[in-house]
Structure 1
Amino acid sequence: MLLTSVDTFSVFIYLYIVWFFHAVLLTNSKERLRQLLVDQFCEATGGPCVYTGRTTKLSHNGIGTGLTNSEFNAFYNDVAKALDENKVPLAEKTEVLTFVNSFRKDIVEK
């Protein structure tokens, strides 16, 4: 379910936040980002995956003019929608969303 949910994210087309992913869309790194999200969410929910990417703070440091709470909420809501569309049980959905929200302090710059 987690893999299907990540594939359902619309962050690459949602106009409010797509500009953050502009470089990803112009390269072959979209698949790499997808795999990092899968590994990160899988590891966070106790799965067998191991996240090997950079820290969230380092990955998002200095993105453009910085993310706002509204932009972060757009991503958070997209994750929630994808989990709902894939009928992820409430306990697991809450676990993933709590994990996602834990990054707010490292991503939101303004």
Structure 2
Amino acid sequence: MRAWLFSGLLVLLVGCATPAPDSLYQQLGGQTGITRIVEDMLLRAAADARIKQHFVEVDIVRVRDKLVEQLCELSGGPCIYSGDSMEESHTGLHISRSDFNALVELLQAAMDQQGVSVRAQNQLLAHLAPMRGEIIER
């Protein structure tokens, strides 16, 4: 009886740790796809005259790593976001609505480049949208 119970619990735990094949995480390409999306977006941001000033004096490796963690967690992947809140991360950076919108455009372009479906893009953006108020300076 104990062996059966242990086996059942193990199956449940493994099932919970592995995202479903049709999950948003998988649609984004898993860890590799999310990393590519974030890196592409950051490269685009560094070259975009509208917002590149926001990325000059930051630890870009940390930004990349925390964004990957965050998108992984938000999309149902196995990651746990360990960074600061969006409000803490963006206070004093003077992020405007147009800055925010520009980064969203770059994120969408990066997802297009990786072949992410519009449906999956919209799902991810819906998860990110509630953070808007914590990022834009009022």
TM bin (shorter chain): 0.7 to 0.9
User: Which one has the bigger helix percentage?
Assistant: 2
1:3 matched to which residue of 2? 35
Q: CA deviation at 1:7?
A: 1.5
Q: CA deviation at 1:99?
A: 2.4
- The answer to whether 1:40 aligns with 2:70 is yes
* Runs of 4+ with >3 A deviation: none
| Coordinate RMSD, CA, aligned | 1.2
1:107 matched to which residue of 2? 135
Amino acid of the residue matched to residue 21 of structure 1?
A: F
Q: Matches of 1:23 and 1:4 in 2, distance apart?
A: 22
- 2:46 counterpart SS class: coil
Q: Which has the higher contact order (CA 8 A, sep 6+)?
A: 1
C-alpha distance after superposition, 1:24-68 (max 9, x if no partner): 2xxxx21111010100001000000111000001110111xx221
Answer yes or no: is the 8 Å Cα contact 1:11–1:18 preserved in 2: yes
C-alpha distance after superposition, 1:58-93 (max 9, x if no partner): 110111xx2211111000111011111111123321
- TM-score, scaled to structure 1: 0.87
Q: CA deviation at 1:20?
A: 1.0
- TM-score, scaled to structure 2: 0.70
Alignment of 1:60-71 (within 5 A): 60-63=90-93, 66-71=94-99
Name the count of aligned residue pairs: 104
| Structure 2 unaligned blocks of 5 or more | 1-32
Q: Matches of 2:65 and 2:120 in 1, distance apart?
A: 19
Percent identity, aligned pairs only, is 30
Q: Matches of 2:70 and 2:102 in 1, distance apart?
A: 19
Answer yes or no: is the 8 Å Cα contact 1:79–1:97 preserved in 2: no
Answer yes or no: is the 8 Å Cα contact 1:45–1:92 preserved in 2: no
Change (3 A) 1:56 1:30: same
Greater gyration radius: 2
| Structure 1 unaligned blocks of 5 or more | none
- The answer to whether 1:94 aligns with 2:128 is no
Amino acid of the residue matched to residue 73 of structure 1?
A: N
1:14 matched to which residue of 2? 48
